[in-house]
Each structure stands twice: as C-alpha cells, then as structure tokens.
Amino acid sequence: MSEVPGLAAVDTALAGHAPLPRDNGELVFEEPWQGRALGMGVLVLERTGTSWAEFRSHLVAAIERRQPRAGESAATTYYAAWLDALEHLLGERGLS
Amino acid sequence: MSARGLGEPQRHDHGAYHSRPASEVELRARALEALLVEKGLLSSDAIDTVVEHYERDLGPRNGARVVARAWVDPAYRERLLDDGTEAIAELGFGGAEGDNMVVAANTPEVHNVIVCTLCSCYPWPVLGLPPTWYKSLPYRARMVAEPRQVLREFGLELADDVEVRVWDSSAEVRYLVLPMRPGGTEGWAEERLAEIVTRDCMIGTALPTVQAGT
C-alpha cells in the first residue's frame, strides 16, 4: 500500500484540470462503483507506471467527450468519464 | 474531509434480493474490473484495500453529525427516531442505499447492533465503507446467534440486564444505531461531540467515549 498515493495526493494531482467531484467542499462518492472506479484507476496507474499528468490528460479529454445524460449527477458524469479515460489508457498500453 | 459512501466490494452479489438493478455505468465499472483482474493487472482485493484506505481518510462523518445533532437537539432526535430517512436528509445526506433508514436508539435498558445476515447491506451514505469484518460470514452468523459474546470480543461488555437487539438490514431498510451521549460531555459543541462518534458506535459494536474526543 505504501506506493499507492493517498486520497489527498490524488485530489491534488487532479485539482485544477479534472478535479474530483465535491459537494459543499467535500468529496462526493454517491455509489460504491464510484469509489471502486477511483481505486482501479490508482492501481492501474501504479502498476503500469503511468504518471498522473498522463492520466489527467486522458481524463480531461474523456470529460469533454462525455455528454451528461438527463438527470445524471455530476459525480456520475465524472466517474463515467473516469472509466472512459481508464479504458483509453489501457487501449494505448495494449491491455484492453 | 468527508464523503458519502466510498465503495463496497461487489463480491457478495445477492443482486436478486438486496440490490437495485445496476445502472449502465455501474455495469461498465464491473466489466472493467473483471477485465483488469483477468489481465492480472490487479485483484478485487487490491481494490478493496485501496478503497478502505481512502475511506479511512474520509470516515463516517455524516453519521457522526446525525448523532451529534440528535444529542443536542431533542426535537431533531424525535424526528430522527420517527422517520430516519427524512431526518437524515435534513442534514443533506442520503442517496440510493440510504433510503428507508431506521434509527435505533440505545437506552440504559437496550443496546442495538446492526448486521446484514444475507450479504453486506450497510447504510453507507451515513457510515461510508463497511469494515471488512462486517462483511465476514462469522460476524453475520454469530451476531444473530450469540450477540453478547460477539460484542464481548469487540471489547464491549454489557450488563446482564441490558437487552441486546440485533437489526438485520435488507434492501428495504438500513439501520443506524444512535448511541447514548456519554457523561462528561456537558456543554460540548455539536462539532466536538461528532468527533467522539465512531463508525463502530453507529454499528453498535462500541460505545462513544470521552477519551476519543480529547
């Protein structure tokens, strides 16, 4: 676990470009899959030696690509884009 | 920092009984997890570990705020016990698995504890991620069969004349324990009170102590 960045480090790495969703200043995870998506991303980055800067650019692109569905929450939109970014990254690495 | 429930493993998947139909994006998350496991890049356990690690950074602050409010505001306490879902929503907490919250108040005569015997239903909008032991088969089975002994193993010794009530969670109802406000906290502000309300206090496997807040 020591090599996996803490939540604060992840938050910092994404701040300004593709910030983690917040509500009233607090990080928001509305459903368990959102937390798991985050955990998967952190592990994939660590195990493929991918930098946060690289993942962030995938994430920014995925957020721009994604059309929010009607009635969808900001956190759902964000973590759906997160999955999309992760899939793109894996595709690039020949792991999809 | 605080958050609504961060994560919960998908392995205890009694979907037909205890879960709502998974959304499209949730299914996609599961498919990606399965792919990553198949590729040998990570294991579901590794994800659990990361999520639990993050959960500790966040903590069950929402539930603690609900309890602290009930301690300082008798009218809120009454609403909370009358309609947990509504009273918890007043503080801005809720969401899919927080629906139909029932709050069980500890009294000098009754101690409450929550369990999910069928899988691992848990009021995560207020308590965050369930601890690993909550999902374990021994806890789920033994808490119903011999609650007093299990509580003793958690270090909670209850007097013989205290009745133990075990609340079995389901898809329809999630429970939250409202512990008694400990002595020695007179005049404490709500924020300070919230600091001594731990996750285990709201599951019912521990009692709040003044030491925790000093």
Confidence of residue B52 (pLDDT cuts 50, 70, 90): confident
Three-state DSSP at B184 gives coil
Write down the pLDDT at residue A57. 95
Residue B140 has pLDDT above 70, yes or no: yes
Write down the pLDDT at residue B5. 42
Three-state DSSP at B178 gives strand
- Contact between A55 and A49 under an 8 Å Cβ cutoff? The reply is no
- Contact between B37 and A44 under an 8 Å Cβ cutoff? The reply is no
For residues B100-114, give the mean pLDDT. 96
- Quote the tokens at residue A87: 């899939």
Question: Tell me, what DSSP letter sits at residue B38?
Answer: H
- Quote the tokens at residue B64: 């603690």
Please count the structural domains in chain A: 1
Write down the pLDDT at residue A15. 84
- Contact between B106 and B181 under an 8 Å Cβ cutoff? The reply is no
Q: A35 in a domain, yes or no? A: no
pLDDT tens, position by position, A57-87: 999 999 999 888 888 888 999 999 999 999 9
Token look-up 């480090």 returns A9
Are A31 and B97 an interchain contact pair (Cβ–Cβ within 8 Å)? yes
CB atoms within 10 A of CB A48: 15
Q: Is B178 left (phi over 0), alpha (psi -120 to 50) or beta?
A: beta
> Chains A and B: how many Cβ contacts under 8 Å?
115
- How far, in Å, CA of B150 to CA of B126, rounded? 24
Token look-up 């503080």 returns B91
Write down the pLDDT at residue B120. 74
Containing B143, the helix (H) or strand (E) segment is helix B137-145
Token look-up 């570990």 returns B49
Question: Tell me, what DSSP letter sits at residue A10?
Answer: H
- How far, in Å, CA of B33 to CA of B28, rounded? 9
- Contact between B68 and B134 under an 8 Å Cβ cutoff? The reply is no
pLDDT tens, position by position, B53-101: 787 666 577 899 999 999 999 999 999 999 999 999 898 776 545 568 9
Write down the pLDDT at residue B59. 59
Q: What is the mean pLDDT of chain B?
A: 84
pLDDT tens, position by position, B156-180: 999 999 999 999 988 788 899 999 9
Are B7 and A32 an interchain contact pair (Cβ–Cβ within 8 Å)? yes
- The architecture (CATH level 2) of B60-213 comes to Alpha-Beta Complex (3.90)
Q: A5 in a domain, yes or no? A: no
A80 to chain B: which residues are within 8 Å by CB? 25, 28
- Domain housing A85: 51-96
pLDDT tens, position by position, B19-30: 567 789 999 999
Write down the pLDDT at residue B58. 67
B residues 134-173 closer than 8 Å to A (CB): none
Does this model's pTM top 0.80?
Answer: no
Judge whether A14 is closer than 8 Å to chain B, CB to CB: no
Q: What is the mean pLDDT of chain A?
A: 88
Going from N- to C-terminal start, the domains of chain B cover: 15-57, 60-213
Higher pLDDT, B97 or A40: A40
Q: A65 in a domain, yes or no? A: yes
- How far, in Å, CA of A30 to CA of B39, rounded? 28
Question: Tell me, what DSSP letter sits at residue B17?
Answer: H
